[in-house]
Structure 1
């Protein structure tokens, strides 16, 4: 009996020991706490910075541990065992214990990272070495070095094949993004954005009824995402990478992944920064003397010189008669010459055990403008993630969410256009009493627009829940559930106080307010199975899943006019007249079945097959479903070839892909008869007007993508070269087919048998030029050579598109007159008469073609590190054409200022100057010459540039000086220097009425403890 009890007791101890071992498993690494001695220490990099998340295992076993946020670790072991330290981006090191209990380790950076870097492909992850598709990655370490408010701004110039243009220099504005050019004739180049697995609608809900200089209807929803919260951004470009997203990925995919907590002790991080911004480049405008001379000259040239000496006509030319003829005001300095401030504060706390990790981050930002007044933009956001896995690692759950509030209070008018055109001798802004100066009703004071008001309140919520469970050792079930809401409430006011009081405007007959209330809500559920099985030489992965998505959008735009007083301006019920400008709601439903099969043989041959069947509510019966698939293949030719042991080549891969994606990007209900509110009533009844015709026959746009690439590594991957050729062909174009005006409609949405082709080359180089203990120098370079052309368009010559497109030419061309200079006899512009009929006509003589798309673009970055000091410089370059100032001001003499280039004008018969004679604006017979010049080849010039997009100087204080904390101080610059021959506000944003991107300087500090 006693022996049985002892056996039972031993069995109990054995079970308890197994239970303890099982409960301390960390992703397959068993932690044994019941050892006789414990080895501990701190793990740092070459600069002494603690490394969190380093894996420590006992060689030849599965026993291990992980370092915490302070880089410290502890692991039980015997004196004869060997510890193995491994961490992504660093060389693996082995240390024999030899009876020691304290061991501090310094890991050396590993220049070879292809085997360890994981790329997020959306539904799966893949090692950089093994990917068959074209997926570019931008990491947090690059994003954090740029003082920007929008994630897209951090991407500018860094990724080959991705062209991003900032649409305004004012806070809260939007960006235009194109991945490998323009695929569809409907104009949209917007890719699919996925944030933590949840599709995010980047289309603005701003109303053109309330458009102001800040956005012109383009407030970017991506402003809701704090760039400091982003862990990585991946751009999916080719068919192999995008086909698994089907119809939503015709223009590419951008995956945004936010940061997560890591195992270790609780860690607090604070980040404070302050930014100063200014307009980077002022135009060279005429001074008072030059302006007055061409102004008088223009009046004389038009035959009205005799009236200049008649006092009865002084009111017509106050700039020449009543205003101070010696006064000069630099209106660029007065209206857009201020300093914009941005203050940013962020605090985060993170930590957790090996099974549960968390992160909570909160940030606040306030940014002003360079305009006079108190216009500002404020944003507050909260981001959190929590990850948990069971002790056996079979069950995993992660929850992430983002909530942000934006308050945008901007001037209703962008003062940039006035800064370039106000005459230099215009009166003072304020009178002696400090009131707005109207100079006896002779001008419109530009600061009156500050009485107008624009405000937008934006709320964004994003949440994602991911669940996974290993049903079998090789089979995992997982599902992703996402929810997203985006709401905007905005208004603009136009009070009578913003106009000259002498003009008789009152609140009752003039004051108005326009309001916009819009929401967009969406949810998505994606259950899927992932099966993986490995044999001796073969690794097989199979992914099958389905998508259920629904999106609803509501928008109400109203305008109220006539108020008892301006204090009631924001009360629509007090308006004398109330109009409903837009009242719409729509619902979008989407379902899909997707799959992926990936085969790897001998770690050298990889085959990847993806497919998706999509269903969209935007098409009529019988047209709702489309099938999209792609095949990608790669050959790692150094793995088993004769170059395997080469001292020059360290990596070699040939890859290619072909497949199709589609698009339903046409808006909701386009196949149905649609109606909208006109905003007017008839005997108290709202009036509807038809806006769309029934057409259930159109279907999916298709984009066929072909790609071939060579990836090479040299000298142990010290140099990595990626060369890509691609061809995208988009067909079955969804465009507005023109209709006869007698039908009451201008167009009918439908498929058109037109084909658009995008081809090009992309080059990427990453190099580690110097890598020593105390000094490192790394370089990156990318360049894109895109080409776009319209391959096929039946009946183009006889269609209404004849003056927009040409077969064999890009979609981005402009048909212009061919400018021949100034006629030396008349002083007027002259143009080539292509049809030789003696007249210059739009359709017949606009045969000069200019392509406005970039011919070449890319970026060059260098990172130099000496001990704790890091200097980073990134240059962006682009070769392109753009409209110059002649597009808006082609002649001198008007009562507006202009470029000093207008001074070089025709004055006498026989002159060969490039600018026409001065005019007053009172002779309409010369207007045609001016308008034709603004639409001619002379209005287009080279806008190529090289720009120092970003520079960063950072210093990490040694631990003994920072009190044991991680303390990093930095100085950053954005758009500091631009080399360009372009004569305009900015070569990348050439508009003369919109604020260009600012030059910014940022000082900041990051503290972790």
Structure 2
């Protein structure tokens, strides 16, 4: 597709790239430069703590230079230096040590613990790095030490509860499923909250290619591509939140940025590491449902209340109410235990090798994961990943090359249907699953056997390749040219098989008239090129840095959905050629082009006053001519008043920083080709000619969404960094909302994509606290706490009252509200739910009487963790908490008496005139007004209740074996627990996953060991 797109800008960007290449070539092959001083001796040594334990990964740098190395897994380092040099030893959590070389060839160092050595902490901000002390932006970080101690398959699972301003919800307890993430709230009316994911400098499309039409309810069509990234290969995850941190990513950063950095090799002897763990998972909480006597009592009562009691004695109606007439009236089956009470086994094995010299370092790892479900059967999820990294730096330290690749194969062979809904709703006296011959029991065709769903085969195989290269050259001491090159390829091949044997024989289905195969093949491919120039100079009192670059990115999505029906027999279901009919349900390809230029200016005066100025100009192919460009910028300021005011080192306050930022980001996240006339294949033909139908209307005038971000923050350290408190207030305002503007039905279209002049505001407070409670010779205790107080508000919405959004949104209220009926309880005379008639017209309807408002977004959320260490023993306990509301059992079970089981709360129902009850009369759906009242009750304020919780999310107890064995190899044994305990008043399956038809997150116990040699 040609849009006469970005011609002049493309020429300028290509010239920048050409200039960078020419400079690189000239400095690499041009006239020789003055050689660096020749080193005179090789220094080696061991870095340990006070207990004599080696410190792997400690940094060893020659003072006054950039030459340095790292200690290996045994704490050993090697470096070349002159006798006049001074070696600087640093490691996070320990005080910096400076040791003169002199004539020593063996130089061992003992580091003293200083768990909040803030100046040595470096934060990844994407295009650049910055020290924790000098950052002006809002960046939350989680390191590998926390990530690897959680039995999760997805990086987002490791982040739950650990970061302020980041709200993550697991969508299902089935392996391979996805997560929902919001960074500082919901910005856009279209519901999109997806952040930008950057893996090793390369954007990654985390949108699922799965389809609910193929996968069914097993993961709700949400198979997360991030499952392809092995959490054990991650070094750190940073989340960029405010304008100063995100504006350099421009239009892609409206919902924040998640930076994922994978592990790299360290110099030293070749090291091998093997990790194996095995765990078991169970559903942590079952609903309290009715037993057989309670269920049958209410069922019969419902039939009698509706005036059909005499039919219970008529054999002609046996097929209508088999649970009341033909099934065993004394039988009881705990279907939750039967269908969800199994054990999900999880086994993971990972091997890695790393090492290298000061110039060239490498790391290669391979991991295999096998995980089953709690459902009956042998379904499983498998993941095999290979990760590699190669770092090389020339001897003169000018040229650097970093190559990283990750290849993952996922096989998801699960039942197509989540059995959770069946477990909750099956009658407790339903028949046995198998007959006397071990075959599926249909009980005279009187029920749908839930295990028949296991015959509906569903399988997904995903192949993901992530590769990137970073090439840099130090042209001058202060000038560097760098290029990021990235390539991603994500392929998913999924299919479902629907055999006729999976349905009740009474329907008379055969392979010829029912059996089908639906297959989806989808590919997402992207590449990116980002040339950059950076210049940094240090004067006596000031430092100045400039970063300039460009981005060239292309993404292509190709997908085909086929449905084959009519097979000679079910054995040939996987053979498309055997089908009578093959139809194309979806077949299309889309391309997305994205180009930009960006720059960042940084000024630091006396390490006290810091200024950041960032700008970016983006061009997107998702907009029409004249609307393709967007400009985004930010200003960040910081005052480290502890430096400028010369605070007493022995005072209670030893570090203080006041910072703030303001700027804009944007969004083009609306899909491809929305500004064009688009058409689809109807599936019909006319005289052999395939017919098309219009799917979209031409609208070239809509443009970028805009998000204006403001933040003020205060960072304080007390008692020599024993207490670290970071607090921030933020305000994000989003406008020019890209939504589907509703159209009249006479147009033939439901909506027109355009900019809607509604404004959404997110404000909030974030607090991060870290304390060192005890720091002794043998025993240490640290605590971390994060707390977020978010608030969402629809500030403006023109003509809301006359729009189709009138029943969904209210100006001055959050986007996350639901408008409900106000329930007035049960009428004691009729036994039917009553509701408030807000306009007193004598009629209850959704337009006028849904005036009760509840907000389902969290009022606050966060986490608190404690780490205890005693010599070689370590215990880490982390709790997650939320204050929120959610739908309760009324949402799905408002009325007793239907032919499915219900929570035991519905047993306390209205029975006779004058009864004071909270549950209306039993019915099987025939009494006038009862069904309608039940539907309104499920959509009333009674269907929402408190769902706040305190959850013991992670517990890890680890022990490193001491003695002679540790001199040869390091052996660590550990036990992990996840979701062990949840304290809540919520009566549903899970307060964080309140939907009654989705398997909730499991409680898991994992045993493992790690061996390094």
TM-score interval, smaller chain: over 0.9
Distance 1:750 1:764, change over 3 A: same
Aligned to 2:881: 877
User: Which of 63, 74, 95 is the equivalent residue of 1:91?
Assistant: 95
Aligned to 1:32: 40
Partners of 1:675 and 1:692 within 8 A in 2: yes
Partners of 1:763 and 1:784 within 8 A in 2: yes
Map of 1:874-953 to 2, 5 A cutoff?
A: 874-923=878-927, 925-953=929-957
Aligned to 2:998: 994
Matched, 1:437 2:444: no
Partners of 1:136 and 1:235 within 8 A in 2: yes
What are the ranges of 5 or more consecutive residues in structure 1 without an aligned counterpart?
A: 1-18
* Partner SS, residue 120 of structure 2: coil
Map of 1:431-510 to 2, 5 A cutoff?
A: 431-510=435-514
Structure 2: distance between partners of 1:123 and 1:100: 39
Deviation at 1:503, TM superposition (A): 2.9
Structure 2: distance between partners of 1:22 and 1:915: 87
Partners of 2:616 and 2:632 within 8 A in 1: yes
Structure 2: distance between partners of 1:809 and 1:343: 46
* Partner SS, residue 592 of structure 2: strand
Aligned to 2:717: 713
Aligned to 1:770: 774
Partners of 2:215 and 2:458 within 8 A in 1: no
Question: Greater CA deviation, 955-964 or 906-915?
Answer: 955-964
Deviation at 1:800, TM superposition (A): 0.5
Distance 1:388 1:929, change over 3 A: same
Question: When the two structures are aligned, how many residues end up with a matched partner?
Answer: 982
Structure 2: distance between partners of 1:137 and 1:392: 33
Structure 2: distance between partners of 1:592 and 1:102: 51
Map of 1:266-665 to 2, 5 A cutoff?
A: 266-645=270-649, 647-665=651-669
Q: Give a deviation string over 1:610-642, Cα, whole Å, max 9, x none.
A: 010000000000000010000000000010205
* Partner SS, residue 641 of structure 2: coil
Question: Greater CA deviation, 576-585 or 852-861?
Answer: 576-585
Partners of 1:612 and 1:627 within 8 A in 2: yes
Structure 1: distance between partners of 2:470 and 2:680: 40
Structure 2: distance between partners of 1:502 and 1:79: 91
User: What value does the CA root-mean-square deviation take over the aligned residues?
Assistant: 2.0
Structure 2: distance between partners of 1:787 and 1:603: 35
Map of 1:8-27 to 2, 5 A cutoff?
A: none
Partners of 2:497 and 2:573 within 8 A in 1: yes
Aligned to 1:180: 184
Partners of 1:69 and 1:263 within 8 A in 2: no
Q: Give a deviation string over 1:36-90, Cα, whole Å, max 9, x none.
A: xx87542222443322454557889999875444223467899999865443432
Aligned to 2:204: 200
Deviation at 1:684, TM superposition (A): 3.3
* Partner SS, residue 687 of structure 1: strand
Map of 1:139-150 to 2, 5 A cutoff?
A: 139-150=143-154
Structure 1: distance between partners of 2:499 and 2:972: 49
Matched, 1:958 2:966: no
Q: Give a deviation string over 1:578-606, Cα, whole Å, max 9, x none.
A: 22111111000000000000000001000
User: Which of 851, 861, 865 is the equivalent residue of 2:865?
Assistant: 861
Structure 2: distance between partners of 1:309 and 1:710: 76
Q: Give a deviation string over 1:198-227, Cα, whole Å, max 9, x none.
A: 100010011232132222111100000000
* Partner SS, residue 679 of structure 1: strand
Aligned to 2:249: 245
Deviation at 1:438, TM superposition (A): 0.6
Structure 2: distance between partners of 1:438 and 1:596: 69
Structure 2: distance between partners of 1:83 and 1:158: 35
TM-score for both structures, normalised by structure 1 = 0.95
Structure 1: distance between partners of 2:165 and 2:355: 38
Partners of 2:78 and 2:268 within 8 A in 1: no
User: Which of 731, 738, 750 is the equivalent residue of 2:742?
Assistant: 738
Deviation at 1:500, TM superposition (A): 2.2
Partners of 1:479 and 1:528 within 8 A in 2: yes
Partners of 2:69 and 2:358 within 8 A in 1: no
Partners of 1:454 and 1:493 within 8 A in 2: yes
Aligned to 1:5: none
Distance 1:292 1:397, change over 3 A: same
Structure 1: distance between partners of 2:578 and 2:85: 84
Distance 1:148 1:267, change over 3 A: same
Distance 1:546 1:113, change over 3 A: same
Aligned to 1:71: 75
Q: Give a deviation string over 1:825-877, Cα, whole Å, max 9, x none.
A: 00000000001111111100000001111110000000000001000000000
Structure 2: distance between partners of 1:58 and 1:784: 42
Partners of 1:48 and 1:958 within 8 A in 2: no
* Partner SS, residue 746 of structure 2: helix
Partners of 2:442 and 2:448 within 8 A in 1: yes
Q: Give a deviation string over 1:275-313, Cα, whole Å, max 9, x none.
A: 100000000000001001001111110000111122222
Distance 1:823 1:773, change over 3 A: same
Structure 2: distance between partners of 1:642 and 1:219: 54
